Amino acid sequence: MEAPIRATHILGFALFFLLFFVCRSSPLHDLLISSAERRIDLTSHIVKVYLTLKVENAGSSPTSEILLAFPPTQVDHLATVEALVTKGKRKKTTLVRLDVKPTELPDAPNGTKYFTIYLANPLNSGESTTLEVLYLFTHSLEPFPAEIGQSESQLVYYRDSALILSPYHIKQQTTFIKTPSTKVESFTRVEPTNRAGTEMKYGPYEDHPPYSSSPILIHFENNSPFPVVEELVREVEISHWGNLQVTEQYTLVHGGARHKGVFSRVEYQSRPTLSGTSSLRYLLARLPPRVHSVYYRDEIGNISSSHLRTDSRKSELEIEPRYPLFGGWKATFIIGYGLPLQDFLFESSDDRRYLNFTFGCPLLETVVDKLTVKVVLPEGSKDPSAVVPFPVEQHLETKYSYLDVVGRTVVVMEKKNLVPSHNSHFQVHYTFKPIFMLAEPLMLASAFFLFFVACVAYLHIDLSIRK
Amino acid sequence: MTTVTNMPLSDLLKSFKLKTKQQELLIRVSILCLVYILAFITRLFSVLRYESMIHEFDPYFNYRTTLYLTQNGFYDFWNWFDYESWYPLGRIVGGTLYPGLMVTAVLIYRILHFLRFAVHIREVCVLTAPFFASNTTLVAYFFGKEIWDTGAGLVAAILIAICPGYISRSVAGSYDNEGVAIFALLFTFYLFVKAVNTGSLAWSLASAFGYFYMVSAWGGYVFIINLIPLYVLVLLITGRYSMRLYVAYNCMYVLGMLLAMQIRFVGFQHVQSGEHMAAMGVFFLMQVFYFLDWVKHMLSDTKLFQAFLRITVTCAVVVGTIALGLGMLSGYISPWTGRFYSLLDPTYAKDHIPIIASVSEHQPTAWSSFMFDYHILLFLFPAGLYFCFKRLSDATIFIVMYGLTSMYFAGVMVRLILVATPAVCLISAIAVSATVKNLTVLLRSKNKGVLTGSTKGSSSSRASSKALLDQSQPFQKNGAIALLFGAFYLLSKYATHCTWVTSEAYSSPSIVLAARGAHGNRVIFDDYREAYFWLRQNTPVDAKVMSWWDYGYQITAMGNRTVIVDNNTWNNTHIATVGRALSSYEDEAIEIMRSLDVDYVLVVFGGVTGYSSDDINKFLWMVRIGGGVFPVIKEPDYLVNGEYRVDKGAAPKMLNCLMYKLCYYRFGEMLTEYGKPPGYDRARGVEIGNKDIKLEHLEEAFTTSNWIVRIYKVKPPNNRW
């Protein structure tokens, strides 16, 4: 008994030291980025950053981990990080997705946060590889002025660094920033800086040591509305009678510059291009194909301004809130729809069933601050387990719906700060015996039967006291 | 071959064959079931046309209180002090409403949830009125059966199921007191008539509980507590006094009174208010009558009894008058309220209580609306009365009295058509049933010539006169057939009329307005909810909204914001203050609004869409009600030669008062109709007189997409330096 434990201990220590060694010395100092190109897209309120890194292993030992660094202010707004590597030669290139995980390093300068990209094949010494990294920030455009009138356009600040924050030495780097329009109030110059049309170019900068940065501030016009769903609760109810009922409760807010003063309908109607340009007039939701019985309502009733377009591949629901949303205005509403069950529910090999459904918010170009997905399993289901491609908080609940006796198991998944790229599929596995499907019809039938028996009995029994 | 195989089958069928009585029962039960369902589904037009939503104004308050009741339980509901309305006074909701409707809805909701039907309380509220209308048809059947026969009962059930007079207040979504109250009213009357007919304490007790339910549901219970004593009095006068009546009335009155005192809003009114004194007087009269009866029984001497009678009656009358006089003088017994007066005298409200007269449903009824709501029943009603008089009994006397008194009230106030509807349906049902029955008897008894003659005597007016003419003629049967066809034609016309009225006139929620577009498509104006939802989402939680009282309930229920006045209209001065603010100049109005802590002002404006029941058209009532309390507001200031105008020729005060400014602010820039100048008001059909409106203390906060609701924000006072 003793020996194996000791063996694992030793192995653990050895691994720890190895890791320490790896972290401390080799990747930080032996890797270097020979060229980096960053493209920041500021056209919508979700900031998209495309980073192309050419990483070179200048050290002696092979490594398979590459670190990305973010300042702490950005990390709070970071919605997603993806890393891809190109494989193949010339024409037959394919992109392979790599694992990215948040990492803590003990002595990060100024609270820098790290993400580690795990390469599929270790990078041997002297070799180099090209990584494509995409990350998205939400709530990173700060409206300034913070309050605008109806006819003013929306100006925002974007803060970043002209130099890419990295734990590695960067030999050459360039940053391109794309603004939605040519109207840029001001921007920080870090020579060489060029501006042409809607694009700004910072760089190229040569040979910057690790952790160098140079803050920049861009003040520009962004008149697109900032639809932010503060809270979204999606409830997916499975009925084995062939229907999947989805109910989505939205708390929508316009996250742009707050509306100030008068709202004049006459101007809004007569000069739509000048007045209330950043207001949120409608939203587009992309729903699965073969959707039916769609409704759009709120606490006080149906909202009549919605249009549904369906074709064989997708359904699009265009919804208008009851009133145009100006900055800071809120609206809550509910969208509900039914879907054919066979498109989403499958049987796995081990006699279990699983639901395969999209996780995120169906509204396009929308940030979701907090998303709760509830999967209501049919009554009598057992052993639920959820498989989600990214970390979420999970717990179970019980819900009582029509004619439920023991209640339905609800798998609840919660996640914060979502962007449309989180609309990937997740699975919920569970076991269910088809006999439970008959429970409710049988209950109803027996209730009616008892009622009729009672009627018959009442008609045939004389209950009068007097004879 | 075939005969052999069919033999056992026909035997089987024969064994299943019902006796005539069973057949009759089966047909009756299935007709009743169909009527029950019909009464329900004919009220669902509004749900099909629009959606499952609460209609109009008062139902929104009922819905809000029901929601409160489901969330907080009965005790909190009973002690609820609502600070969201009548700011800064507030309203003691538990003590100023009839809780019957809300409690009923919550009870249904709880039962459904107990049975695991996870419905929303809104659905229950929406469908409460149709459900009770269905129940009313059953009551009408039993009532008809009690006063005439089962045939009349069935016809009454069918007539009341689709009668527009009743549907107007019981479509799905019309979640108002009347929805359950008509059921309670008819049920109480039925139980009372049953009690009078049987003399049974059990029925009498049941009618007391029916009365209790009615009291808890609607202020119209005053009609019961006055009609029943009147009926008893009539029976006493016509010499129909009986022990049955004594038992029925005393039990019903005493118990009903005690039970009714449990409703906080009613309280001790049964012994303290002038409106309830008739019942008490009749109660004492009954005792005197009983006492005299007993004395008469004991005394054999007629002369002695006559003397005794004289003394007793004089004493009783004197004591009663003194008690009443003392009660009135000491203020213990309150005099009749204005509402009661306005019922007895249709012109009273117009002169004394403008707030009652301003409501459209309190106007005297036009002939057309009688025709609209009753259709053929209007002609069948007198015929039914004739039949009732021909076969006079305690029960028919009751229905006749109910019919006649309620018809009078229906003539005084439009909304009371509702109360008359059950009586009209029952009496008409008697006419239809008796006529059809006589005609069919005539048809079927052709073989037995002798019997025909005997039934003819007691048959209907039309049938009998016809029959008398054709006594020896062979056309008698043809005449009966023709009359039957005529009757069925009329009844089918009635059915189509009712369906048409229900679908066209009575199924609009009045929150959502629908119109036909240029291409014949349906255009929906959902501006009210747009505005209320905007208030709910984008104003501070404690914001106070000032509007005319019509919209108070809706703002609190849908907008979830505090209002200054609402449809409860309990404080005339407060309403007059709002009326004064709206009809003053802006700088005077701002003082009033600041004193009331107003943050937002909401006005309803139909100039863009041509929606005519907007605030400009209601404005004269605001002036009148405001002027009733504050004489600085004078109606002639707003009129030009007695004419109400908004165009260039309007009175200067009109053109500059707050209401005008708020409605027409920046409307002068708006092109509403092709070929008309900007600022053309489509609701009034004129170009407005003041196009250059400047607001000093208010700013436009929100205007809905069709301009129907406009909301203004009261600016904070300027800094002094």
pLDDT, residue B355, reads: 79
What does the alpha-carbon distance between residue B192 and residue B279 come to, in Å, rounded to a whole number? Answer: 15
Q: What is the mean pLDDT of residues A332-346?
A: 93
The correct answer on CATH 3.90.1150.50 for the domain covering A31-221 is no
pLDDT, residue A16, reads: 46
Q: What is the mean pLDDT of residues B644-653?
A: 89
Q: Is residue A182 pLDDT above 80, yes or no?
A: yes
Phi, psi at residue B682, to the nearest 5°? -75, -25
pLDDT, residue B461, reads: 46
Min mean pLDDT across A263-277, A332-346, B196-210, B488-502 is at: A263-277
Per-residue pLDDT reduced to its tens digit, B39-67: 999 999 999 988 899 998 999 999 999 99
pLDDT, residue B6, reads: 52
Count CB-CB contacts under 10 A for residue A7. Answer: 10
Mean pLDDT over each residue of chain A, to the nearest integer: 86
Q: What is the mean pLDDT of residues B291-295?
A: 87
Nearest CA to CA, how far is A319 from chain B (Å)?
14
Closest CA to A288 of A423, A427, A429, A428: A423
Fold match flag (A31-221 vs A227-440): yes
Mutate to test the interface with A, among B18, B538, B712, B715 (most CBs of A within 10 A): B538
Kindly indicate the confidence band of residue B68, based on its pLDDT and cuts at 50, 70 and 90: very high
pLDDT, residue B12, reads: 64
Q: Is residue B221 pLDDT above 70, yes or no?
A: yes
Closest CA to A160 of A33, A35, A40: A40
Kindly indicate the confidence band of residue A414, based on its pLDDT and cuts at 50, 70 and 90: very high
Instruction: Write the residue in A262, A264, A300 that is nearest to B529 by C-beta.
Output: A300
pLDDT, residue B460, reads: 45
pLDDT, residue B218, reads: 92
Instruction: Write the residue in B532, B701, B703 that is nearest to A300 by C-beta.
Output: B532
Mutate to test the interface with B, among A263, A319, A325, A402 (most CBs of B within 10 A): A263
Instruction: Write the residue in A265, A304, A404 that is nearest to B524 by C-beta.
Output: A304
User: Quick check: B529 and A270 CB within 8 A?
Assistant: no
Provide the greatest CA pair distance for chain A.
113
B504 touches chain A (CB under 8 A): no
pLDDT, residue A122, reads: 86
Mean pLDDT over each residue of chain B, to the nearest integer: 88
Q: What is the mean pLDDT of residues A243-267?
A: 91
User: What letter does residue B200 receive in the DSSP assignment?
Assistant: -
Sorted by where each begins, the domain ranges of chain A are: 31-221, 227-440
Kindly indicate the confidence band of residue B7, based on its pLDDT and cuts at 50, 70 and 90: low
Q: Is residue A24 pLDDT above 50, yes or no?
A: no
Domains and CATH numbers, chain B: 19-175 (no CATH), 526-714 (3.40.50.12610)
User: Quick check: A263 and B666 CB within 8 A?
Assistant: no
Q: What is the mean pLDDT of residues B92-120?
A: 92
pLDDT, residue A28, reads: 56
pLDDT, residue A349, reads: 83
Per-residue pLDDT reduced to its tens digit, A211-231: 888 999 999 999 888 999 999
pLDDT, residue A402, reads: 85
Chain A residues within an 8 Å CB radius of B703: 263-266
pLDDT, residue B198, reads: 93
Closest CA to B41 of B156, B166, B145, B133: B133
Per-residue pLDDT reduced to its tens digit, A354-372: 999 999 899 988 999 999 9
Per-residue pLDDT reduced to its tens digit, B465-488: 444 444 545 677 888 889 999 999
Among chain A residues, the shortest Cα distance to B669 is held by A266
pLDDT, residue B453, reads: 41
Q: Is residue B143 pLDDT above 70, yes or no?
A: yes
B403: CB partners within 8 A, 6+ apart: B381, B384, B385, B420, B423, B424, B426, B427
pLDDT, residue B56, reads: 87
Q: What is the mean pLDDT of residues B432-455?
A: 70
Contact A379, A237 (CB under 8 A): no
pLDDT, residue B426, reads: 95
Chain A residues within an 8 Å CB radius of B669: 266, 270
Nearest CA to CA, how far is B102 from chain A (Å)?
19
Chain A residues within an 8 Å CB radius of B51: 301-302
Task: Quote the tokens at residue A211.
Answer: 């952790």
A10: CB partners within 8 A, 6+ apart: none
pLDDT, residue A365, reads: 87
Instruction: Write the residue in A329, A403, A404 that is nearest to B537 by C-beta.
Output: A329
What does the alpha-carbon distance between residue B459 and residue B532 come to, in Å, rounded to a whole number? Answer: 60
Contact B308, B298 (CB under 8 A): no
What does the alpha-carbon distance between residue B384 and residue B376 come to, in Å, rounded to a whole number? Answer: 12
Among chain B residues, the shortest Cα distance to A268 is held by B705
Give the burial class of A13: count Cβ atoms within 10 A of its Cβ; 0-12 exposed, 13-18 middle, 19 or more buried.
exposed
Nearest CA to CA, how far is B116 from chain A (Å)?
5
Q: What is the mean pLDDT of residues B447-457?
A: 42
Q: What is the mean pLDDT of residues B705-719?
A: 90
Query: H/E element holding B532?
Result: helix B527-538
B670 touches chain A (CB under 8 A): yes
| Single pTM value for the model | 0.89
User: Quick check: B530 and A323 CB within 8 A?
Assistant: yes
Nearest CA to CA, how far is B530 from chain A (Å)?
5
Q: What is the mean pLDDT of residues B634-658?
A: 90
Per-residue pLDDT reduced to its tens digit, A267-310: 888 888 888 888 888 899 999 989 999 999 998 888 888 889 98
Place of tokens 């808890």: B216
Min mean pLDDT across B40-54, B261-275, B441-455 is at: B441-455
Kindly indicate the confidence band of residue B721, based on its pLDDT and cuts at 50, 70 and 90: low
Task: Quote the tokens at residue A465.
Answer: 């006291």
Q: How far is CA B521 from CA A371, B515, B543, in A?
A: 39, 8, 39
Per-residue pLDDT reduced to its tens digit, A154-176: 999 999 999 999 888 899 999 99
CATH number belonging to the domain at A227-440, selected among 2.60.40.1180, 2.60.40.1730, 3.20.20.10, 3.40.50.1970: 2.60.40.1730
Q: Is residue A327 pLDDT above 80, yes or no?
A: yes
Q: For the stretch B290-318, what's the b/e string if a residue is b when 16 or more beta carbons lie within 10 angstroms of its beta carbon?
A: eebeeeeeeeeeeeebeeeeeeeeeebee
Mutate to test the interface with A, among B49, B113, B116 (most CBs of A within 10 A): B116
Min mean pLDDT across A395-404, B452-461, B470-479, B517-526 is at: B452-461
Percentage of chain B beyond pLDDT 90 is 58
Contact B549, B575 (CB under 8 A): yes
User: Quick check: B117 and A402 CB within 8 A?
Assistant: yes
Percentage of chain A beyond pLDDT 70 is 93
Per-residue pLDDT reduced to its tens digit, A42-86: 998 899 999 999 988 888 888 888 889 999 888 889 988 989 888
